[in-house]
């Protein structure tokens, strides 16, 4: 067997010469701290996803009203509990018929636009039968199967209850063809008072995001100042200030809200004041911890040596160097504020009618969960997506702003 290995000779080697200047050249441009933060943040896919979700929610709150011609407070009791997707019956080339869960008959255009709820020409309560005249045709709605299904459900025979057709629809003695269409008049359906769900979701997004942003702004202004002063002064002043923080944090938020509602009455103003007066506590603790660490650094000692005032040291050195912690804390507390506002509205301590937040919509839909699940699913989905988006963004900012992870 032949030896195929090739011997390397001096001719195959070329010496590379570097001058003094070339050896000291920087081959990769240096990055500032914030450029490196941006680079690491853009590599985090979950953080980008969270940012996209937040942007979409803000756009939905600002411009979502363009998707509907309805408003959030208008009631139409003839259009109650209409779902986003309708199971209709074909009447003719221009008309569809829809039977809701209360066994009322509606007419629709072929594209899904709801026209009106029809009144029966005759109604037989004994036979559980309604007769309508629609476009010159006789339509008979028989819903006696609903009583049989209810009886089977009461006896615990769910298999029989689910197999019974709750109603039948006859047009001229024939069973019409079924056709599913999207609701073009109320794109996300209506609630138990006939109010447009899409319009109420848009208004609820504005309320929830507004409350969260105002609470976060109060948290930034009060918490940063309070924690910075406590950490910088230290000693007895720090001890007294932090005991006040401990006292505030031990009182439940619900009690604050109840007391404020007694004094000021229910509404968005009460919720904002309650959240703003409590949510700065965590920020104060975080900033205090950072300031206690940073004020021992040499650059702070140098600033004191040249005669810088306490205000200048605080505003020019301590707070800017704590900004990464402040940003992360703010971002992580926004979803907490949204969830708290939704919870308070859900239990009846938040926004009062006719205004609506996502928590109010979820509370209103709870009674009809089995019959109209979309009414609870839509606001719950908005809350979950918004909270998830801010959590993803907060985690991404925490990882990007941490100097220990810098590569």
Q: If you write DSSP's letter for every residue of 11-68 in order, what string do you get?
A: GG-------HHHHT--SS----HHHHHHHHHHH-HHHHHHHHHHHHHHHHHHHGGGG-
Backbone angle region of 217, left / alpha / beta, with phi > 0 → left and psi within -120 to 50 → alpha: alpha
* pLDDT for res 312: 86
Beta-strand relationship, 122-124 and 129-134:
antiparallel
Give domain limits for the chain.
85-182, 197-405
Q: Greater confidence, 276 or 180?
A: 180
pLDDT score, position 59: 93
pLDDT over 60 at 98, yes or no: yes
pLDDT range class, residue 1, cuts 50, 70, 90: very low
Predicted pLDDT of residue 377: 92
Q: Domain 197-405 classified CATH 1.10.3720.10? A: yes
What is the arithmetic mean of pLDDT over 113-121?
89
Q: How many CA atoms lie within 13 A of 333 on its CB side?
A: 26
Would you say residue 26 has pLDDT above 60?
no
**For the residues 17-37, what does the mean pLDDT come to?**
66
């Amino acid at each position: 067997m032949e030896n195929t290995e090739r011997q390397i000779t001096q001719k195959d080697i070329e010496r590379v010469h570097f001058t003094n200047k070339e050896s000291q050249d920087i081959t990769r441009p240096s990055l500032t701290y914030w450029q490196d933060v941006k680079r690491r943040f853009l590599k985090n896919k979950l953080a980008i996803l969270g940012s996209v979700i937040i942007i979409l929610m803000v756009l939905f709150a600002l411009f979502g009203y363009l998707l509907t011609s309805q408003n959030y407070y208008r009631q139409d009791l003839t259009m109650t509990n209409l779902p986003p997707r309708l199971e209709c019956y074909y009447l003719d080339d221009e008309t569809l018929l829809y039977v809701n869960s209360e066994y009322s008959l509606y007419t629709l255009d072929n594209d899904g636009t709801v026209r009106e709820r029809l009144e029966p020409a005759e109604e037989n309560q004994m036979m559980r039968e309604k007769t309508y005249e629609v476009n010159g045709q006789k339509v008979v709605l028989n819903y006696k199967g609903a009583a049989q299904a209810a009886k089977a459900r009461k006896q615990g025979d769910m298999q029989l209850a689910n197999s019974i057709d709750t109603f039948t629809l006859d047009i001229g003695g024939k069973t019409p063809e079924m056709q599913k269409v999207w609701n073009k008049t109320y794109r996300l359906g209506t609630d138990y008072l006939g109010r447009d769900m899409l319009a109420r979701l848009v208004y609820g997004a504005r309320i929830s995001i507004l409350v969260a942003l105002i609470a976060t702004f109060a948290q930034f202004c009060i918490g940063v100042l309070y924690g910075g002063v406590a950490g910088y002064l230290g000693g007895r002043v720090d001890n007294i200030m932090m005991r006040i923080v401990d006292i505030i944090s031990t009182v439940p938020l619900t009690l604050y809200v109840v007391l404020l509602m007694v004094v000021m009455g229910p509404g968005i103003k009460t919720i904002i004041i309650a959240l703003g007066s409590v949510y700065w506590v965590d920020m104060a603790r975080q900033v205090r911890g950072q300031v206690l660490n940073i004020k021992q650094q040499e650059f702070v000692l140098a600033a004191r040596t040249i005669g810088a005032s306490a205000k200048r040291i605080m505003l020019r050195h301590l707070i800017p160097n704590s900004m990464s912690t402040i940003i992360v804390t703010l971002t992580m507390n926004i979803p907490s504020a949204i969830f708290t506002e939704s919870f308070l509205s859900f239990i009846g301590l938040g926004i009062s009618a006719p205004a609506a937040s996502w928590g109010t919509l979820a509370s209103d839909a709870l009674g009809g969960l089995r019959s109209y699940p979309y009414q609870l699913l839509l606001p719950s989905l908005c809350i979950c997506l918004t909270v998830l988006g801010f959590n993803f963004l907060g985690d991404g900012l925490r990882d990007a702003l941490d100097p220990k992870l810098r590569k």
